[in-house]
Amino acid sequence: MTDVGDVGAGSELGLRERKKQRTRATLINAAVQLCLEQGYEKTTVDQIAAAADVSSRTFSRYFATKDAVYLALLDALIQGVAAELKTIPADVSPLRALRDAHLATLGKVRSGGVPGLNSTGVALTLQILNSTDDLKLAAGQIQDPVVFRALADRMGVDPAHRRLRMVNAVWSAIIVTACGDLTPGTTSGPLGPELMAERISESYDQFRALATIAP
């Protein structure tokens, strides 16, 4: 016999979680709109909270800093990359696997295959994260635990291992080199997943060419 109390508790938990997700999404959207209207530097946590119709204290329950709310724009992309990493053959090198996972995810974005992210969202993310050096640096240094675990499993090492940290540092440099200057007006084509994928491929190939130069 089903316990009615358990069903009610589960339903309530589901409602609470959905409300939290809506509040988080509202905060992100408010932050994006304010950044587009007045720029990152002039946007404050209090303004974001007010635009989302919540208190600054509520904001702090979802995001530790102003940077964090903007870096959340990368969540869907990172989750897509983590999922793709698990499908790449184990004999592929870590850096090549990261490249392939990013290209596969960006390809799925173009075809609508990544929940919560589309081509417009990628363009907007690039525009905002590249608007200041602080955000650009923070985005390049993201160490997502899901991606780290997937890489650690591939490499057969602990997530805190030096080799894994080295791979992450090199990949971060490749990403920043590839995408750090992608803002409106700086490219001949439109911002979006196609251009991002093209730049990542180019930067990866350039790194490989440099790495094979004899000392």
Distance CA 178, CA 46 (A): 33
Question: Is pLDDT larger for residue 68 or for residue 9?
Answer: 68
- Residue 13: predicted pLDDT: 58
Reported as a single tens digit per residue, the pLDDT across 144-165 is 788 888 899 999 998 889 999 9
pLDDT of 8 higher than 70: no
pLDDT of 203 higher than 50: yes
Reported as a single tens digit per residue, the pLDDT across 90-140 is 999 999 999 999 999 999 998 888 877 888 888 888 888 888 888 888 887
pLDDT of 170 higher than 90: yes
- Which pair of structure tokens corresponds to residue 33? 């709109």
The pTM of this model reads 0.81
63 contacts 27 by C-beta, under 8 angstroms: yes
Reported as a single tens digit per residue, the pLDDT across 20-69 is 888 988 998 899 899 889 988 899 999 999 999 999 999 999 999 998 88
Distance CA 83, CA 105 (A): 9
pLDDT of 71 higher than 80: yes
Q: Which domains does the chain have, with CATH numbers?
A: 4-63 (1.10.10.60), 72-211 (1.10.357.10)
Can you tell me the mean pLDDT for 195-202?
Answer: 94
Q: Please work out, in degrees rounded to the nearest 5, the angle formed at the alpha carbon of residue 102 by the alpha carbons of 100 and 107.
A: 95
User: Following CA atoms 179, 183, 189, 192 in sequence, which dihedral angle do they give, to the nearest 10 degrees?
Assistant: 60
Q: Tally Cβ neighbours within 10 Å of residue 166.
A: 11
198 contacts 180 by C-beta, under 8 angstroms: no
